[in-house]
Amino acid sequence: MKRILITGGGGFLGSALCEKLLKAGNEVICVDNFFTGSKRNIYPLLDDPRFELIRHDVTFPLYIECDEIYNLACPASPIHYQRDPVQTVKTCVHGAINMLGLAKRLRAKILQASTSEVYGDPAVHPQVESYWGNVNPIGIRSCYDEGKRCAETLFSCYNMQCGLPVKIVRIFNTYGPNMHPHDGRVVSNFILQALQNKDITLYGDGSQTRSFCYRDDLLEGLVRMMATSDDVTGPVNLGMPQEFTIRELAELTIKLTNSNSRIIYCDLPSDDPKQRKPDISLARKLLDWEPVTPLEAGLQKTIEYFDGLLKSDPDFCLS
Ligand code: NAD
Ligand code: UDP
Ligand code: UDP
Distance CA 110, CA 108 (A): 6
What is the Å distance from ligand 1's center to 13 Cα? 7
pTM (2 d.p.): 0.98
The CA-atom distances, in angstroms, between 84 and each of 135, 140, 206, 216 are 19, 11, 27, 29
Residue 178 has pLDDT above 80, yes or no: yes
How far is ligand 1, taken at its centre, from the CA of residue 86, in Å?
A: 16
Tell me the CA–centroid distance for residue 258 and ligand 1, in Å.
Answer: 31
**Per-residue model confidence as pLDDT tens digits over 183-223:** 999 999 999 999 999 999 999 999 999 999 999 999 999 99
Kindly list the protein residues whose Cβ atom lies closer than 6 A to any atom of ligand 1: 7-8, 10-14, 32-37, 57-59, 72-76, 91, 95, 113, 115, 171, 173-174
Q: Which residue is catalytic, options 81, 119, 144, 158?
A: 144
CA atoms of 286 and 217, how far apart (whole Å): 16
Q: Is the pLDDT of residue 319 over 80?
A: no
Asked if the peptide bond before residue 126 counts as cis, ω within 30 degrees of 0, the response is: yes
Nearest residue CA, atom 17 of ligand 2? 101
Is residue 198 classed exposed, middle or buried when 0-12, 13-18 and 19+ CB atoms within 10 A define those classes?
A: middle
Task: Indicate the top mutation candidate among 7, 13, 59, 217 to test ligand 1's pocket, ranked by most ligand atoms within 8 A of CB.
Answer: 13
Give 213-245 pLDDT, tens digit per residue.
999 999 999 999 999 999 999 999 999 999 999
Q: CA triplet 29, 74, 152: central angle to 5 degrees?
A: 100
Which residue CA neighbors atom 21 of ligand 2 most closely?
101
**Percent share of the chain, pLDDT over 90:** 97
Q: Residue range 39-50: average pLDDT?
A: 95
144 part of the active site: yes
Distance CA 209, CA 71 (A): 27
Would you state the pLDDT for residue 100?
98
| Residue 65, ligand 2, Cβ within 6 A | no
The one-letter amino acid at 93: V
CA 132 to chain CA centroid, Å, is: 20
pLDDT band at 318 (very low <50, low <70, confident <90, very high): confident
For the residues 54-60, what does the mean pLDDT come to? 98
Residue nearest to atom 15 of ligand 2 (CA): 98
What are the pLDDT digits (tens) for 98-150? 999 999 999 999 999 999 999 999 999 999 999 999 999 999 999 999 999 99
